[in-house]
Structure 1
Amino acid sequence: MSPRPVLLMVDDRASSFTRYAARALSENLVLLRFAELRGDLREDYLRETAHLPAFWVREGVSLAEEAQRYREWAAELREPPTRFCNPSEPRQHVAHRFAALVGLPHLDERQVGWVRDKVAMKERFRELGLRTAAFARVRSAAEVERFAARYGRPLVLKPVDSFACVDTYLLPGPAAAAEIDYGTRDFMVEEYLGGTEWEVCGLIHDGEVLTAWPSAMPCRPLDIVDGAMNANISVGTDEGPPVDLRELLQRIVTGMDIDHGYAHMEFFVVDGQVFAGEIGIRLAGCEIPANHGHAYGFDVFAATLDVYLGHRPRLDYRERRCAGDLLLPLPGSGTVRRVTSADELLRLPGVVEAVLRAGVGDTVAARRASHNASGYVHVVGDSIARVEQRMRAVLDAFTIEVAPAREPDPVAR
């Protein structure tokens, strides 16, 4: 018998966490994949994880039918999964519904709504006594204008189920609101908050928030998608916000009846008051979890796996510093002609890890999203300011040239 339970993990994209899990749980991990997303999994990643059993949910088949097929398939495994982990934000609804159908720990439909539908989320925040920006669902530019007449400008417009700032916009005036196609998605509008935007991550075990790790953002996500520096800095020093972050997360976790998992939250401090932004019960995006490992000197991914396996992790911190991930720019779509190497980046002050996702000759596709990048570096320092300074030095040293894809020559008639 295995000394640890077997984990079923949703795998819809290669990430540092999924790669770690594939190595650390080589005999205790089963992957749940969705056929319609096969194109998002590169062939090299599929080869890297080929040693693991993987169940593919077929496209166009009812989830109940696929759950029954999974139960029959899992019964043939040496040991079927008894625990579940969904690190994917866009897969929340289908992933937890699937877990429920096959009898694994999961978020129920109401909980998924709270952590996925941003209107339901903010309504729940207010029920729990937290401040939020003013907000409303909107279905037309006229409704946006009525909101603006009451709360002023600028406004933030976003899909209620968006992530990574996809289709999220800062609306300075009525002309911008009129350009949106409101029939494509379910949108909400909210008041733009000043002050300082922060992030906090935490691990949850048996309903208890075990720890809270703050992160500073040199630039706001909405500025990032328009070209600002794309970075997060885990603050292991005493420079974090003047907020009891563990209590803040605990209030939400208790109020949403969350049993276990990884929580990632964004919030604002405005004139000393805390305004809840958004929360996800899944790993943070980009390389934010790895930042915490670098900042506190511990194995953050092992601790995360522990809570999903039902174990209380040991949080033995060996470091207290600031550490951040800087996403390297991807200036456009096309073919990479030149790019600074990882070895060159590792020679820069404070850089402890460098990963390039695009090499010379590769075809790349840029998009307006906060995770748009050609790679990333981890940068450490003794303060937020020192890390940010070193990140800007990396950007000064980094070069990538992308040649736009050529239009095919017209066929001669």
Structure 2
Amino acid sequence: MNDTEVLLMVDDRPSSFTRYAARELADRLVLLRFAETRQDLSEDYLLETAHLPAFWVREGAAPAQEAQRYRQWAAGLPVPPTRFCNPSEPRQAAAQRFAALAGLPHLTEQQVTLVRDKAVMKERFRQLGLRTAEFARVRSGAEIGRFADRHGWPVVLKPVDSFACVDTYRLAGPGDLAGIDLGARRWMVEEHLGGTEWEVCAIVLGGEVLDAWPSAMPCRPLDIVDGAMNANISVGTGDGPAVDVRALVQRVITGMGIDHGYAHMEFFLIDGEVYAGEIGVRLAGCEIPANHGHAYGFDVFGATLAVYLGRRPELDYRERRCAGDLLLPLPGSGTIRRITSREELLGLPGVVDAVLKVGAGDRVAARRASHNASGYAHVVGGSVAEVETRMREVLDRFTIEVVPAREADAVPT
């Protein structure tokens, strides 16, 4: 690591990446937290990271005022941060604005719009010569209907700034609009694409894509939120898409003027043609970055931290296999009665790591999102097919029983 730089990192939820940084950077990491996300940081996690200085942005306070308060606070640190990292998609606009006001490296307001407003994003894709699904901004069911008259049902409806498929719907016809509040957010509609959906992650330094790692998705995100297997598989073998993924990401990074960081892109392959889906300039969701480390046998989090600290990492790959994160089901809200143990999961073929986020007796709240899970298992194999087969074996063996809240409350103690 670059031992002359201190990193300010947004910390709005516990993640493998932030935990890694907390261990590895020690006195070279400062956390930036937002008061409105306090409920997402457990007391155990706050104790785990208590050795790190943390600045809390107050809810409702003026950004310029908070940035000035931060600068005064940071001046009292042994070494104030000179670099910035935001791993969070929903905090992107607020975090980058804060970094700008604090005088740290940041995405510009235009770049934030390009990577957060999906309609603007797709317009830029087209300006860069990439195909996309047909799309339109919409404000009413009538506008959605007119779009579908031109491009056919089903269509995909989403907020322009959504993530993890939150409030994203596949509509088979006008009747599927029932219960969706189109006045609550800014919406767009897209044609539903066939073909194969892929993901690709990349790290960038000085505007150069240093490398890119493709991932297969056994099931599409919109199928996942409706109950399909929730998994991503990093393809370190020859099973990947017939596309120069590094060149693909480089075209977008150059076209958006991105200097450094971690990029995560989704695209479709239809009859050999690439259709750009979406891009985020932040860590990929779920445990996708860790998959790449398992697939290629290298320190993916260390390489990511390096580019945020302004240093070119050595990408020393020691493996070439497929490795995926299987998110374990969380079937409903209530109290967990029983759940398969980590030890049992680690005993299954191909499972090299497993994390349970909940245990017996915990109260849980499920939500319709692609990251909804009770935990995850990392599964490896020689091919995408072998990993997917092993993942389905894990799901067959995994058991979680959730007692709905009303039933749990009715049980005598």
CA contact (8 A) 1:165 1:369 kept: yes
Residue number in structure 2 paired with 1:322: 322
- Report the CA distance shift for 1:76/1:197 in structure 2 as closer, same or farther (over 3 A): same
Instruction: Show the 5 A alignment for 1:238-317.
Output: 238-317=238-317
Report deviation, 1:3: 2.6
| DSSP 3-state at the match of 2:327 | strand
Q: CA–CA distance in 2 between the matches of 1:196 and 1:404? A: 37
CA contact (8 A) 1:327 1:377 kept: yes
Q: CA–CA distance in 2 between the matches of 1:183 and 1:249? A: 34
CA contact (8 A) 1:144 1:177 kept: no
Residue number in structure 2 paired with 1:11: 11
Instruction: Describe the superposition over 1:353-405 as per-residue Cα deviations: whole angstroms up to 9, x where unpaired.
Output: 01001101111110000000000000000000000000000000000001111
Report deviation, 1:4: 2.9
- Report the CA distance shift for 1:124/1:103 in structure 2 as closer, same or farther (over 3 A): same
CA contact (8 A) 1:268 1:274 kept: yes
- CA-based RMSD of the aligned residues comes to 1.1
Report deviation, 1:150: 0.4
Residue number in structure 1 paired with 2:164: 164
Instruction: Describe the superposition over 1:279-335 as per-residue Cα deviations: whole angstroms up to 9, x where unpaired.
Output: 000000000000000000000000000000000010000000000000000010111
Residue number in structure 1 paired with 2:224: 224
Q: CA–CA distance in 2 between the matches of 1:3 and 1:11? A: 21
| DSSP 3-state at the match of 1:80 | coil
CA contact (8 A) 1:209 1:246 kept: yes
Q: CA–CA distance in 1 between the matches of 2:286 and 2:61? A: 32
- Report the CA distance shift for 1:268/1:408 in structure 2 as closer, same or farther (over 3 A): closer
The answer for unaligned runs of 5 or more in structure 2 is none
Residue number in structure 1 paired with 2:81: 81
Q: Is 1:388 equivalent to 2:388 in the alignment?
A: yes
Report deviation, 1:240: 0.4
TM-score (norm 1): 0.98
TM-score (norm 2): 0.98
Instruction: Show the 5 A alignment for 1:116-265.
Output: 116-265=116-265
| DSSP 3-state at the match of 1:27 | helix
Report deviation, 1:179: 3.6
| DSSP 3-state at the match of 2:80 | coil
| DSSP 3-state at the match of 2:378 | strand
- How many pairs are equivalent? 409
| DSSP 3-state at the match of 2:17 | helix
Q: CA–CA distance in 1 between the matches of 2:179 and 2:83? A: 45
Q: CA–CA distance in 1 between the matches of 2:402 and 2:131? A: 44
* Counterpart residue type for residue 168 of structure 1: T
Report deviation, 1:407: 7.1
Q: CA–CA distance in 2 between the matches of 1:409 and 1:287? A: 34
Q: CA–CA distance in 2 between the matches of 1:312 and 1:409? A: 55
Q: CA–CA distance in 2 between the matches of 1:160 and 1:243? A: 27
* Counterpart residue type for residue 32 of structure 1: L
| DSSP 3-state at the match of 1:166 | coil
Report deviation, 1:178: 4.6
Q: CA–CA distance in 2 between the matches of 1:4 and 1:270? A: 47
CA contact (8 A) 1:21 1:305 kept: yes
* Counterpart residue type for residue 38 of structure 2: R
| DSSP 3-state at the match of 1:148 | helix
Instruction: Describe the superposition over 1:251-295 as per-residue Cα deviations: whole angstroms up to 9, x where unpaired.
Output: 000000000000000000001100000000000000000000000
* Counterpart residue type for residue 403 of structure 1: V
Report deviation, 1:177: 2.6
CA contact (8 A) 1:141 1:178 kept: no
Residue number in structure 2 paired with 1:101: 101
Q: CA–CA distance in 1 between the matches of 2:179 and 2:156? A: 14
Residue number in structure 2 paired with 1:30: 30
Q: CA–CA distance in 1 between the matches of 2:191 and 2:306? A: 38
CA contact (8 A) 1:339 1:360 kept: yes
Q: Kindly, what percent of the aligned residue pairs are identical?
A: 77
Report deviation, 1:216: 0.2
Instruction: Describe the superposition over 1:42-77 as per-residue Cα deviations: whole angstroms up to 9, x where unpaired.
Output: 110000000000000001210100000000000000
Instruction: Show the 5 A alignment for 1:397-408.
Output: 397-406=397-406
- Report the CA distance shift for 1:356/1:203 in structure 2 as closer, same or farther (over 3 A): same
Residue number in structure 1 paired with 2:375: 375
